[in-house]
Amino acid sequence: MDMSVSLNQQVRDDEALVPTTHEELAAWVAEVAEMTQPADVYWVDGSQAESDRLTAELVEAGTLRKLNDDLFPNSYAAFSDPADVARVEERTFICSKDERDAGFTNNWMDPQEMKSILRERFTGSMRGRTMYVIPFVMGPLDAEQPQYGVEITDSAYVVASMRIMARIGTGVLRKMEAENAFFVPALHSVGAPLADGEADVPWPCNEEKWIVHFPEERSIWSYGSGYGGNALLGKKCYALRIASVIARDEGWLAEHMLILRLTSPEGRAYNIAAAFPSACGKTNLALLDPTIEGWKAETLGDDINWMRIGKDGELRGVNPEYGLFGVAPGTGWSTNPNAMRAIAKGNSIFTNVALTDDGGVWWEGMTDEVPAHLTDWQGNEWTPDSGRPAAHPNSRFCTPIDQIDMLSQEYYNPEGVEIHAILFGGRRKTTIPLVTEARSWANGVFMGSTLSSETTAAAAGAVGVVRRDPMAMLPFIGYNAGDYLNHWDRISGQLNPERRPKIFLVNWFRRTADGGFAWPGFGENSRVLKWVTERIEGGGGARETPIGYVPTADALDLAGLDGFTPEDVEAAVRVDADEWRTEVEDIETWYANFGDALPASLRDELAGLKERFRA
């Protein structure tokens, strides 16, 4: 195919356009260039020199602000369009051929119809911009079956961020070529073409946004947004929505989970995976600073966990990401010193945080002392009595994962680690105890499938509304949610019963009558995890309740936790029958959505729960 004639005059030459021997990739890149009509096509090699050049260009364009090197070396701040600050679930689609395969939790449109809408939007959408081609791999490149992707984007901010979040560049491309491997084509445009001579804005985007997945093709088309999960397509779009479909077909699990290794003073290591909805504490738990004597924590992952069944029937988890895209507000020297140390090493991109007068960044909760003067995320003067947050509630830090001092060496292991416990957790002011151990594996899957949480600023829309969020995957299941629960059920059946992880439900966000948190959280969560490990070993004081086992008042190690008493533990783990009867009704309503697709084991679990509250 000769595309030189149909391409914009400014495309350098055919050489620049096809620097790959991977024929499908070359053809796709040519096809996209023909449709989007960029001024230039550039293949991202992933090098430091290239990154320096791109960030310099972004500074020149006003997209990035270089921070003071003495405070945050080699780091930058970006400020988005105020209407482009979070994932847009209303604009996210799963376009399976059959509507049934998208299920009730997803927006759906016929793939042909969607393609024709998208082709129209993408036609000429990159005019006046450079089209970047980013080869990447999710998970280690030396995995048995590396999970390749190629993102095409017209945003250099996306390139710079993808370089932190995923393994990218020429090394990946060469291996992909050598294997003539399948890759997920992930197409992204901010949807803001530039006319000849038209000046650019710091954060180009389009009012109209489309975040679209074609599960059968395993392809992604994202239009109109430059933000996080909408634009860094290796993350939620690939590693959760598309990967969940691949996982369904291949017999594994792609989950919205952190992975933490906790080692006891006796040297016993436990790998704990935890699924919490967006902005509900994954990164914080993944970087836990234990407050109990002699316990050591190591990070394996903070947002995504791909789990396969090992040769002995054990569940093994791998973090496919390469960086952290963490919620900034609430991340501070007292709550999360490990994250702060990683950030302080630099090489980070901050989005929608506030700027300090000395060229650093700040956000609510970073330091106990609030700066007297800041420039807020929208560029306005800010003082403590401005009456509004300085940083956007969903402002983020994007930082290489290897800057975490507590990163486990096992992070690099392509085989992953055996998972010993799974926690499901949400943000609930009432009803849900601090920690509950499932009565059985099936009861644990029930806990996951009925998980609920108050919505947060991580997605556009109302904040603080309780919704069901199965396995914290509600916005990320790339197929029918009923099939997803059946897939969990099927995987369960393939696990060695002796090696099946124990499952727990946690809630760091329960409130007391006076409105405060019922549990101090953060590093103190190590006390809850200690009890979890004791339960794994068959110990740990526990009391049976209708919903599962909760710690007895004296079973949580409270040594050194001043002012927190066993009575407070009792209040934090209380199961209120009235609250739970309402909860059970709500679960029944939730389950009704699944119709016949609900696994029988979960139906039985609900019946059992209802019965126990009746008794």
- Show which residues are catalytic: 280
Q: How far is CA 413 from each of CA 346, 393, 406, rounded to the nearest angstrom? A: 25, 34, 16
283 is in an annotated binding site: yes
**Binding region for ligand GTP (CB under 6 A):** 276, 278-284, 303, 326-327, 329-330, 335, 458, 508-509, 517, 521-522, 525
> 87 vs 535, which CB is nearer to ligand SPV?
87
Residues 60-119 contacting ligand SPV, CB under 6 A:
87
What does the alpha-carbon distance between residue 80 and residue 65 come to, in Å, rounded to a whole number?
Answer: 12
> 225 vs 525, which CB is nearer to ligand SPV?
225
Neighbours of 564 (CB within 10 A): 16
> Quick one: which of 136, 214, 276, 325 contacts ligand SPV (CB under 6 A)?
325
Retrieve residue 309's tokens: 């069944």
What does the alpha-carbon distance between residue 367 and residue 329 come to, in Å, rounded to a whole number?
Answer: 10
> 279 vs 518, which CB is nearer to Mn ion?
279
> 327 vs 587, which CB is nearer to Mn ion?
327
396 is in an annotated binding site: yes
Q: Does the footprint of ligand SPV cover residue 234 (CB under 6 A)? A: no
Going by C-alpha positions, the residue among 589, 592, 595, 523 that lies closest to residue 557 is 523
By a kind-dependent CB cut-off of 5 to 8 A, residue 508 interacts, out of ligand GTP, Mn ion, ligand SPV, none, with ligand GTP
As measured in angstroms, the least distance from the Cβ of 245 to Mn ion is 19
Instruction: Count the site residues for ligand SPV by CB under 6 A.
Output: 9
As measured in angstroms, the least distance from the Cβ of 284 to ligand GTP is 3
Q: Does the footprint of ligand SPV cover residue 302 (CB under 6 A)? A: no
247 is in an annotated binding site: no
Which of these ranges, 228-236, 333-341, 576-584, 596-604, lies near ligand SPV under the rule CB under 6 A?
Answer: 228-236
394 is in an annotated binding site: yes
Q: Does the footprint of ligand SPV cover residue 458 (CB under 6 A)? A: yes
Sheet holding 305-309, edge to edge: 253-255, 305-309, 315-318, 417-418
Q: Does the footprint of Mn ion cover residue 298 (CB under 5 A)? A: no
Catalogue the E-assigned strands of 264-353.
269-275, 296-301, 305-309, 315-318, 323-327, 349-351
By a kind-dependent CB cut-off of 5 to 8 A, residue 235 interacts, out of Mn ion, ligand SPV, ligand GTP, none, with ligand SPV
Tell me the HSE value of 301 on the side-chain side, using a 13 A CA sphere.
Answer: 35
125 is in an annotated binding site: no
Residues 125-144 contacting Mn ion, CB under 5 A:
none
Q: Does the footprint of Mn ion cover residue 303 (CB under 5 A)? A: yes
What does the alpha-carbon distance between residue 175 and residue 189 come to, in Å, rounded to a whole number?
Answer: 26
Going by C-alpha positions, the residue among 599, 477, 590 that lies closest to residue 103 is 477
486 is in an annotated binding site: no
As measured in angstroms, the least distance from the Cβ of 394 to ligand GTP is 8
As measured in angstroms, the least distance from the Cβ of 327 to ligand SPV is 8
Strands 374-375 and 354-356, bridge-based pairing: antiparallel
| 216 in Cβ contact with 241 (< 8 Å) | no
Please classify residue 5 by burial: count the beta carbons closer than 10 Å to its beta carbon, then call 0-12 exposed, 13-18 middle and 19+ buried. exposed
DSSP 494: H
| Neighbouring-strand partners of residue 93 | 107, 212
> 77 vs 532, which CB is nearer to ligand SPV?
77
As measured in angstroms, the least distance from the Cβ of 59 to ligand SPV is 23
Residues 491-520 contacting ligand SPV, CB under 6 A:
none
> Quick one: which of 140, 215, 224, 229 contacts ligand SPV (CB under 6 A)?
229
> 355 vs 457, which CB is nearer to ligand SPV?
457
237 is in an annotated binding site: no
Query: Nearest-CB residue to ligand GTP?
Result: 330
> 277 vs 548, which CB is nearer to ligand SPV?
277
As measured in angstroms, the least distance from the Cβ of 459 to ligand GTP is 9
- Backbone phi, then psi, for 119, in 5-degree steps? -60, -40
Please classify residue 142 by burial: count the beta carbons closer than 10 Å to its beta carbon, then call 0-12 exposed, 13-18 middle and 19+ buried. exposed
- Rg of the Cα trace of the chain? 24
> 205 vs 587, which CB is nearer to ligand SPV?
205
395 is in an annotated binding site: yes
281 is in an annotated binding site: yes
User: Within the chain, how many helices (H) and strands (E) appear?
Assistant: 16, 31
Which of these ranges, 28-36, 229-237, 312-320, 536-544, lies near ligand SPV under the rule CB under 6 A?
Answer: 229-237
Residues 6+ apart with CB under 8 A from 164: 322, 323, 347, 348, 349, 398, 399, 400
525 is in an annotated binding site: yes
What does the alpha-carbon distance between residue 211 and residue 166 come to, in Å, rounded to a whole number?
Answer: 20
Q: Does the footprint of ligand SPV cover residue 350 (CB under 6 A)? A: no
> Quick one: which of 40, 81, 298, 303 contacts ligand SPV (CB under 6 A)?
303
Which of these ranges, 178-186, 271-279, 411-419, 432-440, lies near Mn ion under the rule CB under 5 A?
Answer: 271-279
Strands 269-275 and 417-418, bridge-based pairing: unpaired
Query: Nearest-CB residue to ligand SPV?
Result: 229
524 is in an annotated binding site: yes
Strands 130-138 and 147-153, bridge-based pairing: antiparallel
Residue with tokens 């791909």: 306
> 182 vs 564, which CB is nearer to ligand GTP?
564
Catalogue the E-assigned strands of 284-420.
296-301, 305-309, 315-318, 323-327, 349-351, 354-356, 361-362, 374-375, 381-382, 396-400, 417-418
Q: How many residues does the chain have?
A: 615
| 230 in Cβ contact with 210 (< 8 Å) | no
> 278 vs 452, which CB is nearer to Mn ion?
278
Residue with tokens 């929505």: 241
- Backbone phi, then psi, for 144, in 5-degree steps? -55, -45
| 177 in Cβ contact with 147 (< 8 Å) | no
As measured in angstroms, the least distance from the Cβ of 285 to Mn ion is 12
303 is in an annotated binding site: yes
Instruction: Count the site residues for Mn ion by CB under 5 A.
Output: 2
Q: Does the footprint of ligand SPV cover residue 235 (CB under 6 A)? A: yes
Q: Which residues are annotated as a binding site for substrate?
A: 87, 227-229, 278, 394-396
Q: Which residues are annotated as a binding site?
A: 87, 227-229, 236, 256, 278-284, 303, 394-396, 427, 522-525
Q: By the criterion CB under 6 A, which residues form the site for ligand SPV? A: 87, 228-229, 235-236, 278, 303, 325, 458
Q: By the criterion CB under 5 A, which residues form the site for Mn ion? A: 278, 303
Q: Which residues are annotated as a binding site for Mn(2+)?
A: 236, 256, 303
